[in-house]
Amino acid sequence: MRSSRFNLLVIIAVVAMTLSFLTRLALLAYSWSEADLSLGGFLQVFGRGMLFDFGFCAYALILPALYLWLVPERLWRSRLHRYWVQFMLFAGFYALTFIAIAEYFFWDEFSVRFNFIAIDYLIYRREVTDNIFQSYPVVPLLAGLVVVAAFVYYGLRHPIKKALFTEERFSRRTMAAGLALLLPLAVYGGLDQSVCTVSANVYQNELAGNGPYQFVAAFRNNDLDYLHFYEHLPPEEASALLKQEISEPNATFVGSNLFDIRRDIVQTGPEKKLNVILVMVESLSSDYLAFFGNDEHLTPNLDALIAQSLFFSNFYATGTRTTRGLEAVTLSIPPTPGRSIVKRIGRESDQWSLGNVLNSKGYQSFFMYGGRSYFDNMGAFFSGNGYQVVDQSSVPDSEISFSNAWGMSDADLFQQAIKVADQSNAEGQPFFLHLMTTSNHRPYSYPEGQIDIPSGTGRNGAVKYTDHAIGEFLSKARQQPWFGNTLFVIVADHQSGSAGKRALPVERYHVPLWIYAPKSIIPGQVDRVSSQIDLAPTLLSLLNMSYRSAFFGKDILAMAPDQGRSLIGNYQNLGLFDGKSMAILSPQHKMQLQEGLASAQATEHPAQKSEILVQRNISYYQGADYVYRNRLNAWQPPVAGMAHIKVAGQRSIPAL
């Protein structure tokens, strides 16, 4: 190779691509059974992966190329400058090894390459930094990376030294820099995210990517234009189909405009001004429960509560992140592609929320979070949609017995809930408390001595501690004067894991739901397929409230058995599950159909827009995009008399 200072770029690129190859190999070994790679698949994954590795290098080396081009020869030859360049090379090698290790741990947690979650982890530095230091041996790892980077540098010391002592005219540097700067332009024009789609197996597609490249791409794809990226129907057709989907016998649409889903829900008899305490439990997968076959006895309190509650056994989360669960339960809207509405800063407020509806009925609505509510923009979202926010920062230190990176223990959060409920009850106002727990999250630490699993030893312990805290909370609540007049709702925000071989593995969205009120609700099991977007309408129905709705969900208890459906998605794939099959919409106007999901012979194949399940799916997501972008679900306080309609006669809970 001809001697040139630009040889340093080649050295960096070789190191980066070698580490990327080894990282991909390690991730494949970690997920070998799920990836299910044939020899042809192996070649595809690693071949396309090298394209993304090259793309990352082309972008990452833009600034070094400019530097090598513009540094004058006299400065280049100085000893101090050589030391500076050597230090920067070592730092670069260290950064590349750090990225490789970070990718491994990110994959261990989420089974994907860097995405929106990784961006959040940089934005919310305090929680993430504390979590990492409490979960991993950070200092030994960082020290070990210094050794690895030093070893890499030592192995390349001779070509590095040769490049540092090369004399090179400006004209020759200009030619080399021009070539180096043409490469990112070629990558920009010829490499997009579709290249890493090698099969229907999600693991294979993720392996074909490049972590840093996906990280940057996540910035560009946080809010996708539905009509540009997804299959759609003529607006009038989609609007009519959506209104048909969400219609109910006791609902009357109030407008005829495109996608105007506002409707008056009319109940018979007096409203029940019951208090509501909604506990959203971090990562409470359905398969932790004995009811669904778990034999590790992790949730004795929640298992015992099933027989005392309305228990929804076929209930599904809309997404794989906390903000998706909060969005669905609060706004009753399908998961629009990109980031959750909760995190769309500047566009997250003044929407038709459960809190706003209950406030219009004289309730006090609170969002209570175990951590700091600036995380994931939760504070701004809830305060902008009718809730008073109580979080770790608003609780005196003397009232927090235990905390970790994510916030106070669940027991401390529940104690605050009792405090707020007591205060609202003393003021004579019905209350709605929406709690979000944090203990079932890495580093899985909690107060010692509460359960028989030591703190910080894994998720099973965190699940069992959360169950214990819920049991203690209900026991204390039973001693309060407001207990008999309160609905307790317990639901997961999402499952503890979302990875699967299919684009949307529906089994990884299955979560439990309890509605417990021994003096107001007859226990029973509800098996209809339903979704988190149905929780708000179902609660308002149990309260026998007449109100104006802009919700996409429906009262689960009033659904006919064949009307069940669930809307689930991730950042790009959007699904509608009817209990047997699921239609999936993906960018580039792709459509898929998963069939046989109730059996062990599930299949996935391309779908046609003419298929009814696909059309129903399109109507929900095309409608949600239109409603959100055009603010058709903007909150409108009811005028006098509206949504307070009373019809003679007493309504009873539908037969289960």
CA dihedral 119, 124, 126, 127 (to 10 degrees): -90
Structure tokens at 49: 């992966």
- The per-residue pLDDT for 18 is 96
Q: Report the distance separating Cα 490 and Cα 516, nearest Å.
A: 8
Task: Write down the pLDDT at residue 655.
Answer: 34
204 and 330 part of one domain: no
Is 637 inside any structural domain? no
- Of 578, 630, 542, which Cα lies nearest the Cα of 258? 630
pLDDT number for residue 627: 96
Q: Are strands 364-369 and 388-390 parallel, antiparallel or unpaired?
A: parallel
Report the chain's terminal Cα–Cα distance, integer Å.
77
Whether 645 maps to a domain, the answer reads no
Domain boundary among 162, 194, 220: 220
Structure tokens at 452: 């028989």
Residues 573 and 339: their CA atoms lie apart, in Å, by 12
Tokens representing 105 are 């741990």
Could you tell me which of 199, 162, 202, 212 has the C-alpha nearest to residue 52? 212
Task: Judge if 373 and 321 occupy the same domain.
Answer: yes
pLDDT, residue 645, reads: 41
Is residue 368 domain-shared with residue 475, that is, in the same domain?
A: yes
- For 221, residues 6+ apart whose C-beta sits below 8 A from its C-beta are 193, 338, 571, 572
Q: 239 and 377, same structural domain?
A: yes
Using alpha carbons only, give the angle 508, 582, 511 rounded to the nearest 5 degrees: 30
One domain, residues 495 and 567: yes
566 and 600, same domain (yes or no): yes
pLDDT attached to residue 648 = 32
Does 212 share its domain with 158? yes
Whether a cis peptide bond, with omega within 30° of 0, leads into 518 is no
Question: Is 639 part of any domain?
Answer: no
Strand partners, 583: 576, 593
**CA 342/CA 369 separation, integer angstroms:** 14
Asked, for residue 644, whether it belongs to a domain, the answer is no
Last residue of a domain, one of 172, 197, 220: 220
Considering the domain boundaries, does residue 275 fall inside one?
A: yes
Beta-strand ranges (E) seen in 527-611 are 530-531, 547-549, 566-569, 574-577, 582-586, 590-595, 603-606
Count of domains in the chain? 2
> What pLDDT is stored for residue 647 in this prediction?
36
Q: Are residues 346 and 486 in the same domain?
A: yes
Q: Do 507 and 600 sit in the same domain of this protein?
A: yes
| One domain, residues 160 and 195 | yes
Question: Could you tell me the CATH number of the domain that includes residue 548?
Answer: 3.40.720.10
Query: CB of 386 within 8 A of CB of 359?
Result: yes
DSSP state of 647: B
Q: Scanning the structure block, which residue is given the tokens 């540097």?
A: 173
Give per-residue burial for 568-591: e unless 16+ CB within 10 Å, then b: bbbbbbbbbbbbebbbbbbbeebb
227 inside domain: no
Q: Is 39 left (phi over 0), alpha (psi -120 to 50) or beta?
A: alpha
Q: Which domain holds residue 190?
A: 7-220
**Cross-sheet strand order for the sheet of 566-569:** 566-569, 574-577, 582-586, 590-595, 603-606
- Give the per-residue pLDDT at 345: 85
Tokens 């890499």 label which residue?
152
Residues 262 and 200 in one domain: no
pTM of the model: 0.78
Alpha helices in 115-169 (DSSP H): 116-123, 125-135, 138-155, 157-164
Residues of the chain scoring pLDDT < 70? 1, 110, 115-128, 131, 217-224, 498-502, 640-656
Is 339 inside a domain boundary? yes
Query: Given 159, 191, 220, which residue is the final one in a domain?
Result: 220
Question: Residue 592: what are its φ and ψ, rounded to 5°?
Answer: -135, 160
- Longest CA–CA span in the chain (Å) reads 95
In a shared domain, residues 495 and 597: yes
In a domain, 327, yes or no: yes
